[in-house]
Structure 1
């Protein structure tokens, strides 16, 4: 398999965090003759989450779909699978990261993501967490996003400045592509 034009499957596994889960799941994928073309792992509370995009011929994808349920039971995992196809790139002019921090306030992430949606901006990746600093609970977030060709980025930054002021967050934009 040298291209991603074969069949694809998104697989997500969630369960109690413990050593060896990644090894077990990647071994199953390999034994089914699939290729992992993208993956993400996160620990949320005491739970492990692993999302993979698999590629393979129809027989390999079917083997994963039929083998995973029993392996999931054995490992105590909740799993979901969905067939998909190769991602179609839209016409974007540039890619950026946005990092912001501030005092943890309910609704900030919701306001930021709503603002991005209203600007027709595609969020590619999002990571957020909270931490304690100087006896205050603070939040931080990092988004990776693509801007549509028709977006006036300077005007976008002015509007985001207004939002950041209302939300009381400090932020940095960085162009990455």
Structure 2
């Protein structure tokens, strides 16, 4: 199969978690002659979420767009699709992994991501959850971030320290590239 990197489609599927959903969706993608370039799965509450980045020629992308709604009804899924193009990698001066955990206090993630927005720090990946530990609810987050050349790293790190010290949250900011 010859692929044109300009023909890509993002497909998001959400529905009640049960065995076989991934198999059905990947089979449909394969039958339409598309290739799965990237994918993510998460279980949120009782809901299954599946995001795929597909690539193929225009006819293959059109076949997926035509067939997904029928398959979605059959599987009881809510789906959304959007055409896109190959990601253009930006040049960053540094990449970090921020991990933090502590008391599950509403608003911590919002404050952290707002700081990132204020400093134009790019969020490349984010995973956050809450769990019970020793009878108390705690949160934990892992965020991959990229600094552009314009970011004042020292000031950003200082502001991050302020947020976490006020929230009694432990964190590690480790350079990964």
Asked if 1:36 corresponds to 2:39, the answer is no
Q: Which residue of 1 aligns with 2:134?
A: 134
Paired residues for 1:113-132 under 5 Å:
113-132=113-132
Paired residues for 1:42-121 under 5 Å:
42-121=42-121
- What are the Cα deviations for residues 57-91 of structure 1, in whole angstroms up to 9, with x where unaligned? 10000000000111111111110000011112222
- In the alignment, the residues of structure 2 paired with residue 90 and residue 138 of structure 1 have an alpha-carbon distance, to the nearest angstrom, of 35
Unmatched tracts of structure 1, length 5 or more: none
After the TM superposition, list the runs of 4 or more consecutive aligned residues in structure 1 that deviate by more than 4 angstroms. Answer: 1-4
Q: What TM-score, normalized by structure 1, do the two folds share?
A: 0.95
Q: Which residue of 1 aligns with 2:155?
A: 155
Aligned residue for 1:89, secondary structure, equals coil
- Indicate conservation of the 8 Å contact 1:9/1:83, yes or no: yes
- In the alignment, the residues of structure 1 paired with residue 5 and residue 61 of structure 2 have an alpha-carbon distance, to the nearest angstrom, of 13
Q: What TM-score, normalized by structure 2, do the two folds share?
A: 0.95
Q: Which residue of 1 aligns with 2:6?
A: 6
- In the alignment, the residues of structure 2 paired with residue 14 and residue 49 of structure 1 have an alpha-carbon distance, to the nearest angstrom, of 5
Unmatched tracts of structure 2, length 5 or more: none
- What are the Cα deviations for residues 117-163 of structure 1, in whole angstroms up to 9, with x where unaligned? 00101101111100111211100011111111122323321221111
Label 1:90 to 1:63 Cα distance change in 2 as closer, same or farther (>3 A): same
Aligned residue for 2:93, secondary structure, equals strand
Q: Which residue of 1 aligns with 2:164?
A: 164
Q: Which residue of 1 aligns with 2:145?
A: 145
Aligned residue for 1:19, secondary structure, equals coil
- In the alignment, the residues of structure 2 paired with residue 6 and residue 60 of structure 1 have an alpha-carbon distance, to the nearest angstrom, of 13
Label 1:156 to 1:29 Cα distance change in 2 as closer, same or farther (>3 A): same
